[in-house]
Amino acid sequence: MPRAGRALSVLLLASAGLEQGMPQAPQKEAKRFSAGHELQGPKTEPASNTPAIPVDEIIRQFAAKEAEFKKARDNYTYTQLVRIQEYDLDGRRGGEFHRTSEVIFTPEGKRYERITWEPPSTLRRVSLSREDLEDLSNIQPFVLTSDDLGKYILDYQGRERVDEIGTYVFRVRPRRIEPGQRYFEGTIWVDDQDLQIVKTYGKAVPDYRRRNEENLFPRFETYRENIDGKYWFPTYTRADDILHFKNDDIRIRMVVRYSDYKQFKSTVRILDPKQVDPYTARPPQRPED
């Protein structure tokens, strides 16, 4: 998000929701996380509480499951709602950004994002950068597949029960930062039965601090739900953070909701979802009165 020559990536939502009318976190039910009131990292049992199977085998199995999930999700349509609000440190709200879009397919099977509603942004202190929008697709709904394992170092942290779900907890950090690449750094919770990521807490990296530009990426928390009885789909991202620029502090609150997952059925080849370009997509023109 550029601001007066600066850029910042913002993905943080108010603990109790973003003002009146903001979608709330999913409520607790079977095979679903209920989003708590505070963004917080893991509270694990000691890592010495050795799991029944070797940690390396847990990682291998859940990465393989994540690869299956990624392939499955690439064949689903869904709706994505994004809302961002800016505040000063006295709690006075500034502008807002809203976007509702649908990730859908053409009759030929090409996957793309169609923006269905995006009123003019009233953000004054920040604006969205390309990294913000790319991270919405790739970092907030973080997926760690077998192909991605070589990019990251995983440290087993122990066990934690979240709601009624037993999980293995791992600290994740990039092995190295390659130019032009985006990474996740933080904590993941892996269901100890389904061996899939069910919760994510962390941030997109790297931050950028250049001479005339700062691009800062706050912490976020993403929850998944078991949508189809087999795979855990991201449904809710929230965040609330103060970004410390060189000459200013800005508080950003944000919520992202992914909903209405529906499987797309076609006999044609499904193209790589990376072809979705949310930065260049534009909403349709409203009909004139």
Q: Binning pLDDT at 50, 70 and 90, where does residue 152 land?
A: very high
The pLDDT of residue 287 is 41
More confident residue, 2 or 201: 201
- The CA-to-CA distance between both ends of the chain, in Å, stands at 33
CA distance readout (Å), 238 to 14, 122, 183: 7, 20, 18
Domain ranges of the chain: 2-21+53-269
Buried b (16+ CB within 10 A) or exposed e, 254-283: bbbbbeebeeeeeeeeebebeebebeeeee
- Identity of the amino acid at 182: R
- Identity of the amino acid at 30: A
Q: Which two tokens stand for residue 170?
A: 């791992």
Q: Which distant-in-sequence residues (6+ apart) come within 8 Å of 4 by Cβ?
A: none
Identify which of 155, 156, 184, 186 has the alpha carbon closest to the alpha carbon of residue 168: 156
- Identity of the amino acid at 275: Q
- Residue 126 per-residue DSSP state: -
State mean pLDDT over 240-266. 90
CA Rg, the chain, in Å?
19
Contact status, residue 170 vs residue 156, Cβ threshold 8 Å:
yes
- Strands ordered across the beta sheet of 197-205: 111-117, 93-105, 76-87, 249-263, 232-244, 219-226, 197-205, 183-191, 165-174, 152-162
Whole-structure pTM value: 0.77
Identify which of 27, 23, 5 has the alpha carbon closest to the alpha carbon of residue 14: 23
The pLDDT of residue 30 is 35
The pLDDT of residue 100 is 98
Say which range, 170-179, 242-251, 265-274, has the weakest mean pLDDT: 265-274
Indicate the average pLDDT of the chain.
81
**pLDDT at 279 exceeding the cut of 80:** no
CA distance readout (Å), 40 to 118, 201, 222, 240: 31, 8, 11, 11
Tokens 């976007």 correspond to 99
**pLDDT at 230 exceeding the cut of 50:** yes
The pLDDT of residue 170 is 98
Tens of pLDDT, residue by residue over 96-142, are: 999 999 999 988 888 899 999 999 999 988 878 889 889 988 999 99
